[in-house]
A = this chain, B = another copy of it.
Amino acid sequence: MPEQRFDPHDLAQMAPRYRARFINSLSGFKSANLVGTVDGDGRTNLSIVSSVFHLGAAPPLMGFIVRPHTVERHTLENLLETGYFTLNAVNHPHYAAAHQTSARYDRDQSEFDACGLEPRFVPGFVAPFVAQSPLRIGLRLVAHQPIALNQTELVIGEVVQVMVDDAAVQEDGYIDLEGLGVVAISGLDSYHQTDRLSRLSYAKPEHPPHRLTLSGQPEEDA
């Protein structure tokens, strides 16, 4: 297939918005999560992020990138103030509402109200969850470190609460995100459903991987 090649000069020449869309597309499909926070006065905030990533299982750690000089600044201020935040998986019926949280609302206007999403509070946990999300995670802030190269911040939280629709958790611990209708993001603004190709067995040098069922059993035994 014919291909386009871009060198540093080509990349530098791109108009800023073209480059933003192009570079944001390079990393591949991204997770779609809503970050829920609250400030010391009880004002809730909700912001979609596509940079959440797994950092480790023991202890259970997740990270994401905040741009403090954008609409995301309230999220950062709030989670630094209270020490807690939530991550709520975005599912198909609510992807447009989730996208709308990226609009630049005033601090006094909660994105929950503005975007038609419902906060849910859990006793003993200060940050708001999203009632409509099928996978809701409560995290305690454990680290934040500046990325000096571009004035972003890496935020790291330890998972302390997980609420997930019952049928999704498989017997081997895998969570069926696809069955929950969780969406993926590409670029700045494209939302996608998924269609499972397969789970694959743990890779070993001696032989190729074999396909696993949703519940993690070898397909031939299923």
Binding site for B on A (CB under 8 A): 1-8, 11, 14, 16-33, 50-63, 65, 87, 89-90, 92, 95-96, 99-105, 109, 114, 134-135, 137, 142-143, 145, 147-150, 152, 154, 156, 159-167, 169-170, 172-175, 177-178, 182-184, 186-205, 208-209, 212, 216
B190 with A186: CB separation less than 8 A: no
Which residues of B lie under 8 Å from residue A184 when comparing CB positions? 28-29, 184, 192, 194
Cβ of A139 to closest chain B Cβ, rounded Å: 10
**Copies of chain A in the complex:** 2
Return 23 A-B CB contacts under 8 Å, by A number.
A3-B163, A3-B165, A4-B166, A4-B169, A6-B163, A6-B164, A19-B60, A21-B216, A27-B62, A28-B90, A54-B65, A55-B65, A55-B147, A55-B149, A55-B150, A55-B152, A59-B149, A96-B209, A101-B203, A142-B149, A145-B145, A178-B186, A190-B198
